[in-house]
Structure 1
Amino acid sequence: MRYIVNDVAAVPNGGGVYSILEDFYLDVLKNDHENEWFFILAGKFFPESDNVKIIVREDLKKGKIKKLLFELFNGRNYINRLNPDVYISLQNIITYGVKASKQIVYLHQPIPFQNEKNFSFFKKREAKLAIYQKIIGHFIKKSLHDIKPTIIVQTDWMKEAAAKQCNIKKENIIVRHPEVNIGNEKKAYHGNGKHFFYPASGFLYKNHDIIGKAISILNKNGIDDFKIDFTLAADQLNIKSKNINYIGHQSRKYIMKKYESDVLIFPSYIESFGLPLIEAAVSGDIILAADTIFARELLKNYNNAYFFKYNDADSLSELMKKIINHEIKADGTRLSINDNGERLLKTIMNITTEKKDVE
């Protein structure tokens, strides 16, 4: 079979979007030597093989309008010339007019589907997000409604939202969350309550500002014997405090180690999945999370999670104070998960072949 994968949106240092592509591509390269694969990407980011090739379309990264026109109008001719049996979009929207017998969309962008925040075109920090939420999001939903591909999402809440907002049958939507690192060699949380951390990019909805406000409240009340690590460079945020360490991007191994000693603060109010929540919970860590539909879904069976309204700095500062003063302690239990997630390649193979369970 010939598989065509479209993901020109993903580029190195592009955060989770690129991680999804990288994991999937390298899995294909290593484990599928029978089928033909063509990846339409913005650059030759990975090695190729006899059956796995990259087609570079860097031009589609030069503007959102050009990329959108490709998906709506002229992309069909380009893709159909490749004679796909299976067409896969890893970038949320499905291309109109593709003649593949099977079409799949990996829907992992929650901004158009969430109800936590209505972004404004008239606020400088929100304008780009408003465009994605209200304009790009409209075309994403319309394409899924019109073409009705098989849709892969990471959470039940995304399945419910997509089915309702795209007016499509739930039977067309498959829930498969990413694999979670739950190695038994890790120690459970044994921190002293003085160290917190937040592994996240600098997008507005990651909501670092609320942590900055909570720090100010604690400082005003004479509490300053604590540290918070952000996985960003100091010039990526306009938050200055002696309580914050900007440690930059870190490896997954480093982050997993942090769950043993540092309390996770997770104020993000828009996520498709929120992997750090699960990683921290299987490590027995204390978690302070914004009270959102995705956090409630992921942490519904976990004892050491405490929730605050995402824009309520007083509530967050009060929880932090209780941890610093040892009024909140981890109870030593970890989240037990029966479903450790699934590789994207395995999910796609199970969709496109007659085999019930592909390794």
Structure 2
Amino acid sequence: MAKKRFVYCHHATLFYNAKLKDWKFDYKIGLFSVLYKYLFQINITKNEAVFVQQHWIKKEFKSLFNIKNVMVSIPEFIPNFDFKEIILDTSKIHFFYPLIPQSFKNIECIGEAIKLLPENIKCKIKIHLTVKEGDSNYANYIIANYTTTAINYIGKINRKEVFGYYEKMDCLIFPSKLETWGLPISEAKAFKKPMLLANLPYAKETMGDYNKVSFFDVDEPEELAALITQFANKTIAYQGNKYAFDESSQFNDWNSIFDYILKD
């Protein structure tokens, strides 16, 4: 048996309150949200250290499992500006949401927000989603219920195309209800783009210090509709974000983690 054991917990589903739609579109999400709390606690106290990706998760782990040896391992992010040129209609205001279509990605918040927009706003925006029919039951549901000229369902695209959209887009929309990090936030930040983000701990921690960002309640499409309208009218007053945390138990790359694990 190993003298020292470590575990890297890369899943936040145990903090997710699964709804009926989650069970409907992918029962595993609902099942994991119920079971992970119990699966994680098996032998978790026997580890030399428990690694998680964000400080808010560390706080929750310490409280939930009554452990103190939780370390934060920030995902190593290297900006990639090698992108494919994307041609977008210059008469439109372009929003972008790169995602894999799972129910917790909360696309319906965008769809319902669009329904609330006045026509003079709806006709001049385009929201690009990396979703197409057949991707999943959830994708099929979204496309069937939110067919509008304001949404462009572009399907799966490669990394160079994703970064091409970052370069050309006007604003990132990110309404996801569950993330361990939220990589598109870091990526859009590297391009210095404005963002409308879920008002949740993961988004604020990933965002860090940034001025051109505002947050909305993920269950209130009215808030997102208001922000989209303000952005389109160039009247938006960004909330901005400041996030300070203790870096003494934080690792910023894999080398530092392995140095910690392999130390005498």
Larger radius of gyration: 1
The aligned residue for residue 37 of structure 2 is 137
Alignment partner of 1:246 is 2:148: no
Most deviating of 284-293 and 243-252:
243-252
The aligned residue for residue 113 of structure 1 is 15
State the one-letter code of the partner of 1:243: A
Q: Following the alignment from structure 2 to structure 1, what is the Cα–Cα distance between the partners of residues 237 and 167?
A: 13
Alignment partner of 1:286 is 2:194: yes
Q: Following the alignment from structure 1 to structure 2, what is the Cα–Cα distance between the partners of residues 156 and 192?
A: 41
Post-superposition offset of 1:141: 2.6
Post-superposition offset of 1:181: 2.7
Alignment partner of 1:177 is 2:77: no
Post-superposition offset of 1:122: 9.8
Q: How does 1:33-44 map onto structure 2 within 5 Å?
A: none
Post-superposition offset of 1:250: 2.2
Question: Conserved in 2, the CA contact under 8 Å of 1:288 and 1:306?
Answer: yes
Q: How does 1:187-336 map onto structure 2 within 5 Å?
A: 194-218=93-117, 223-236=122-135, 237=139, 238=141, 239=143, 240-262=147-169, 263-328=171-236
Question: Conserved in 2, the CA contact under 8 Å of 1:113 and 1:162?
Answer: no
Task: Rate the CA distance shift 1:231–1:222 in 2: closer, same or farther, 3 A.
Answer: closer
Q: Following the alignment from structure 1 to structure 2, what is the Cα–Cα distance between the partners of residues 197 and 180?
A: 20
Question: Conserved in 1, the CA contact under 8 Å of 2:81 and 2:163?
Answer: no
TM-score (norm 2): 0.79
The aligned residue for residue 351 of structure 1 is 260
Structure scoring higher RCO (CA < 8 A, sep ≥ 6) equals 2
Deviations 1:53-98 (A, max 9, x none): xxxxxxxxxxxxxxxxxxxxxxxxxxxxxxxxxxxxxxxxxxxxxx
Task: Rate the CA distance shift 1:232–1:183 in 2: closer, same or farther, 3 A.
Answer: closer
Deviations 1:125-184 (A, max 9, x none): 474322101123311133323x23422211101111111111111xx2221211223368
Report the 3-state secondary structure (helix = DSSP H, G, I; strand = E; otherwise coil) of the residue aligned with 1:264.
strand
Deviations 1:224-277 (A, max 9, x none): 221111112233322322222222222333222322221100000211111111
Instruction: Please tell me the root mean square deviation across aligned C-alpha atoms, in Å.
Output: 3.0
Post-superposition offset of 1:193: 6.8
Report the 3-state secondary structure (helix = DSSP H, G, I; strand = E; otherwise coil) of the residue aligned with 1:260.
helix
Post-superposition offset of 1:121: 9.8
Q: Following the alignment from structure 1 to structure 2, what is the Cα–Cα distance between the partners of residues 136 and 225?
A: 44
Q: Percent identical across equivalent pairs?
A: 29
Report the 3-state secondary structure (helix = DSSP H, G, I; strand = E; otherwise coil) of the residue aligned with 1:228.
strand
Report the 3-state secondary structure (helix = DSSP H, G, I; strand = E; otherwise coil) of the residue aligned with 1:235.
coil
Structure 2: gaps (5+ residues): 84-89, 239-246
Most deviating of 153-162 and 215-224:
215-224
Task: Rate the CA distance shift 1:249–1:126 in 2: closer, same or farther, 3 A.
Answer: closer
Q: Following the alignment from structure 2 to structure 1, what is the Cα–Cα distance between the partners of residues 196 and 6?
A: 35
Q: Following the alignment from structure 1 to structure 2, what is the Cα–Cα distance between the partners of residues 121 and 300?
A: 31
Q: Following the alignment from structure 1 to structure 2, what is the Cα–Cα distance between the partners of residues 119 and 158?
A: 21
* Structure in which a larger fraction of residues adopt helix: 2
Task: Rate the CA distance shift 1:242–1:234 in 2: closer, same or farther, 3 A.
Answer: farther
Q: How does 1:90-101 map onto structure 2 within 5 Å?
A: 99-101=1-3
State the one-letter code of the partner of 1:257: G
Structure 1: gaps (5+ residues): 1-98, 331-338
Question: Conserved in 1, the CA contact under 8 Å of 2:92 and 2:124?
Answer: no
State the one-letter code of the partner of 2:93: K
Q: Following the alignment from structure 1 to structure 2, what is the Cα–Cα distance between the partners of residues 121 and 208?
A: 12
Post-superposition offset of 1:352: 2.8
The aligned residue for residue 90 of structure 1 is none
Equivalences, count: 240
Deviations 1:92-111 (A, max 9, x none): xxxxxxx1222221111001
Post-superposition offset of 1:308: 0.5
Question: Conserved in 1, the CA contact under 8 Å of 2:132 and 2:154?
Answer: yes
Task: Rate the CA distance shift 1:245–1:121 in 2: closer, same or farther, 3 A.
Answer: closer
State the one-letter code of the partner of 1:181: I
State the one-letter code of the partner of 2:75: P
Q: Following the alignment from structure 2 to structure 1, what is the Cα–Cα distance between the partners of residues 21 and 97?
A: 28
